[in-house]
Amino acid sequence: MMTEEVKTHLVNDLIPFWKKLRDDVYGGYYGWLSYDLVLDQKAVKGCILNSRILWFFSNAYMLLGDESLLEEAKHGYAFMREHCIDREQGGLYWSLAYDGTPEDTTKHTYNQAFAIYALASYYAASKDESALETAMDIYHIIEERCTDEIGYREAFDRSFREIGNDKLSENGVMAEKTMNTLLHVFEAYTELYRVSGDAGVKERLMWILDTIAEKVYDPALHRQEVFFDREMKSILDLHSYGHDIETAWLLRRGTDILGERSYAEKMLPIILDLTGQVYRAAFDGRSLANECEKGVVDERRIWWVQAEAVVGFLNGYQLAPAHEEYLEAARSEWEFIKTYMIDKRKGSEWYQEVDSFGVPTAGEPIVEPWKCPYHNGRMCMEVIRRDPDSRR
């Protein structure tokens, strides 16, 4: 039942919603839909948002085979190629004005990673060689301009001079390196290696896995650290439940695609530890809290955290079938999502956040530069592929 419900939601709700956000005048997809469902056609268009939409339609096409989804992906790719990419100095801008002109020319490693993720999937869907070439170009930019001897640096101006990392720093700290950027570079390189088989990308995947195991994962606290200084020393006592459950299943996907048994064996205990700790610390039987800073739990239910919990718990059950509580957690989380996170108003999608009782936070937009079909759309696709109903 869960699988069919999720597929129906993907096909009947998410896909039509994002198709309606298409801008046929200036390209790409509109960047803002308010809580009151007012569309701003002149809002900023985030390049992360447009990368994620390109990824979504590419993968939805590969799963469902609907040609209209490939057409949406082609539309998204054209916008990325013609507007998001800086043809003079390389890499992607942070955001564009509604008409496709540069709005914020910051170059951020996180943003470059999502472009690779989208382009690699678009190449797999379309067989357009230019998309793979562009993905490899951005990969080389990250490796040549955004790294140091310890890890991935974060934020740069248009010409790749390092600047403050205000865009991915939160909770009152200014981080020089983040778990978030490292995770999504890993995610992007996983997809790039899947479609290219490039030896250099494989080498970097293994390096990232080593870094996660040795510098990001804290075995004593059963979590990942989140914000770091330049030397990869943690600078804040923070447990990000959503990132840890997302990391758990992305690590499994990455090691599967990597195909190196030693890394699968190295990461499996970490995957299971992260999953178990999130289940014990953050899951209340129906939904997942956001994070815990210095011992204080943020009880908000954030849209993307709930989506990643479904996939992460399913992944945990598949890896350790004795833990039937993970399968039930995924099912319970889906019940919470369909009851409270999905906005039933016509012309809407998911609320951005609700409280632990399911009451939505008024004023939070339905679409903005970070609010996209990547987490919830991917959740649907992963549930369909994993088919938990077959395990009854």
Question: pLDDT of 287-313, one tens digit each?
Answer: 999 999 999 999 999 999 999 999 999
CATH number at residue 105: 1.50.10.10
Please report the pLDDT score of residue 391 as a whole number. 64
345-363 burial, b for 16+ CB within 10 Å, e for fewer?
A: eeebbbbbbbebeeebeee
The alpha carbon of 154 is separated from its chain's Cα centroid by a whole number of angstroms, namely 17
Predicted confidence (pLDDT) at residue 392 exceeds the cutoff of 60: no
CA distance 104 to 89: 14
Please report the pLDDT score of residue 66 as a whole number. 98
Predicted confidence (pLDDT) at residue 286 exceeds the cutoff of 60: yes
The alpha carbon of 323 is separated from its chain's Cα centroid by a whole number of angstroms, namely 26
CA distances from 196 to 19, 34, 56, 66, 265 (A): 29, 39, 20, 24, 24
Give the number of other CB atoms < 10 A from CB of residue 167.
16
Q: Pairing between strand 301-302 and 353-354?
A: antiparallel
Number of domains within the chain: 1
Written as six digits, the tokens of 361 are 């936070």
* Mean pLDDT, range 371-380, rounded to an integer: 97
Q: Which domain holds residue 320?
A: 2-391
Question: pLDDT of 10-40, one tens digit each?
Answer: 999 999 999 999 999 999 999 999 999 999 9
Question: pLDDT of 173-187, one tens digit each?
Answer: 999 999 999 999 999
The alpha carbon of 220 is separated from its chain's Cα centroid by a whole number of angstroms, namely 26
* Mean pLDDT, range 122-127, rounded to an integer: 98
* Mean pLDDT, range 157-185, rounded to an integer: 96
Give the number of other CB atoms < 10 A from CB of residue 321.
11
The alpha carbon of 349 is separated from its chain's Cα centroid by a whole number of angstroms, namely 17
pTM of the entire predicted model? 0.97
Question: pLDDT of 83-113, one tens digit each?
Answer: 999 999 999 999 999 999 999 999 999 999 9
Which amino acid makes up residue 344? K
Please report the pLDDT score of residue 249 as a whole number. 98
Average pLDDT, the chain: 97
Written as six digits, the tokens of 294 are 């210095």
pLDDT > 70: percent of the chain: 99
Question: pLDDT of 63-89, one tens digit each?
Answer: 999 999 999 999 999 999 999 999 999
* Mean pLDDT, range 140-169, rounded to an integer: 96
Q: Calculate helix-pair angle for 303-319, 241-258, nearest 10 degrees.
A: 50
Confidence of residue 264 (pLDDT cuts 50, 70, 90): very high
Question: pLDDT of 339-356, one tens digit each?
Answer: 999 999 999 999 999 999
Please report the pLDDT score of residue 389 as a whole number. 84
Predicted confidence (pLDDT) at residue 199 exceeds the cutoff of 70: yes
Which amino acid makes up residue 319? L
350 DSSP β-pair partners: 342
